[in-house]
Structure 1
Amino acid sequence: MKKLILVISLIFIILFGNSQSGLIYNFTFRVDNHLITQIKTQNKNNKILNLSTVEDLPKELSENVLKLSEQKIGEYLKINLSSFKPADKLIMGALPEHLMYLPANTFKKTIKKYDTTNFFIDIKCHIEASGGKKIILSNKSFSNVNPKISLKIRVLNSDKVLVEKKESILKDFEKLRSKTFEKTYGIKSLAKNTDLVTISETINSDDILRMYLLSIEEALN
């Protein structure tokens, strides 16, 4: 019976996608602390001791991640896709290493409020500090962190049946900051082509957004 429902759902996506609607109801986005925190200790003649740098993960990053998700997944499924975002007054401190301002709802809660929606999207993304390839820094040394991004996208219908599942894992980000994107989705930072290699061990919000775009393109390819 579930297979029949799955086939029917896929046929609806293909034939009637333009009239179908979808909603990103849950989105977990985690970035390892080692990637956004740099601690540098020097001694004797080097003078600098215990210098700590933490990259900011602003609300704009979460908004841009959602914008990319809605456009890329919506185009792939040929549906009108939006997000079940939390109200600002309900925003509380995120879990350690997690982006704030993203949808965080149960399917049961979502289907009650959006009972006419056809498809429901659950996304899980994790940027890890290990598992990828080393990056050569500007002083010709190798980075201590080896970033890797894992992405999982699940598409459910209104009966909570899995319609589609997409995944990707990317490990090589040596040319991340010199990557040129043909389509920027109205996001200025994606239009930058700095060709910048620094001695910093941290990644910033622009790096994270670029990594996410590469991973979602790979998953939906």
Structure 2
Amino acid sequence: MPDTLTAAADALAGPLLGIGTAHRACSLALVEKGAVTRHTDELIGRGHAERLMPMLAELLGGVTANSIIVETGPGSFTGIRIGVAAARALGLAWNVPVHGISSSLLTAARAFHEGLPAPLGIVLDGGRGEVFLERFDETAASLGPPVAVPRGDLALEGIAAIAGTGLELVDAPSPVARGSADPPRLVDLVHVPNLERHLLPPQPLYVRPPDAKVPGAPC
């Protein structure tokens, strides 16, 4: 294993804090030695910024983590930024590494844990009449980057099962198995195989440009 992966694996031994705000839930988890020790998931729709810090304080109870993993999307532009900013701030305060994890992979890990077959299509609600589609093989390896697809144009050829927050927005042919439409949960970090190999930089994963632009920014 390369040195960078060894360092990541050591940091992930725990306590590890998982933060997820990219979808309609605020999801937090503490993981140690591959097991979830504390977690909380709250469906809030909007208002992640107001709820995140009180939820973190309650979950942590004075505990600090050796590393942080934050959900980086694809998902809500505002939600993603809130989670990433909080994770980076805590990382600086605690002087610990901060990593990213994709919303699609978290959803795929849960789907495979629940017994769905591969090839698996993760379909996340992208808003504006679109879904974000990403395909995974039986090892939870991505078969290509996520793409934004108008819900009416979604093609599921070659997919054995689908899951994700966009599930209720699409019509799947009857042979395609359907999993959970729940938002990604950070407790599912423990179901990601070889987690250290799937870590991303702690920065937003946007499939399309943000709806809002910074004032004065070039178009």
TM value normalised by structure 1: 0.31
Highest RCO, 1 vs 2 (Cα 8 Å, sep ≥ 6): 1
TM value normalised by structure 2: 0.31
